[in-house]
Amino acid sequence: MDKYKILIVDDDPNVRKVLGDTLTLKGYETFAAKDGTEALSVLKQDSFNLVLTDLGLPNISGLEVLHRVKADYPLLEVIILTGNATLYSAIESTNKGAFSYLQKPYDMDQLLLHIKHAIEKQQAEVQILQHSVELKKINSELKALYEVSLIISRTIDLNKLFSEIVDAFSIIEVFSFVQKSMIFLIDKNRTHLVALGLSKAETGSCDKLAVGDCLCGLAAKNGEIIVSKNCGNDIRHKKKSHWPAPHGHIIVPLKSINKVEGVLCLFTHPDIGPDEHILNLLLTIGNQLGIAIENLKLYEEAKSFSLHDPLTGLANRRLLQIQLEKSFEGAKRYEKPLSIIMLDIDYFKKYNDTYGHVEGDRLLVAIANILLKELRSPDYIFRYGGEEFLIMLPEIELKNANIVAERLRKTVASKLTVTISLGVSSCRQSMQTKEDLINNADTALYQAKQNGRNRVEINIQQEERQK
Q: Is 387 a catalytic residue?
A: yes
Please report which helix (H) or strand (E) contains residue 321, including its range. helix 317-334
May I ask the CATH architecture of the domain 133-303?
2-Layer Sandwich (3.30)
Q: Do the two domains 1-131 and 133-303 of this chain adopt the same fold? A: no
234: helix, strand or coil: coil
Ordered by start, the domain boundaries in the chain are: 1-131, 133-303, 317-466
Tell whether the torsion through CA atoms of 81, 83, 87 and 92 is positive or negative. Answer: negative
Contact 449, 432 (CB under 8 A): no
d(CA 44, CA 56): 22
Does domain 317-466 match CATH 3.40.50.300? no
Residue 55 exposed, middle or buried by CB count within 10 Å (0-12, 13-18, 19+):
buried
Bridge partners of 178?
A: 268
pLDDT tens-digit profile, the chain (467 residues): 578 999 999 999 999 999 999 999 999 999 999 999 999 999 999 889 999 999 989 888 889 999 999 999 988 999 999 888 788 888 888 888 899 988 888 889 999 999 999 999 888 887 776 665 555 676 777 777 778 888 877 777 777 888 888 877 777 777 777 878 888 888 877 777 776 665 555 555 566 777 777 888 888 888 888 888 887 777 777 666 655 577 888 888 888 877 888 888 888 888 877 788 888 888 888 888 888 888 887 777 766 677 788 899 898 888 888 888 888 988 888 889 999 999 999 999 999 999 999 999 999 999 999 999 999 888 999 999 899 999 999 999 999 999 999 999 999 999 999 999 999 999 988 888 889 999 999 999 999 999 999 999 998 665 445 44
d(CA 360, CA 214): 52
d(CA 64, CA 86): 16
**What is the CATH code of the structural domain delimited by 1-131?**
3.40.50.2300
Q: Which pTM value belongs to this model?
A: 0.46
Give the length of the chain: 467
Check 164, 261, 294, 387 and give the catalytic one.
387
d(CA 422, CA 342): 6
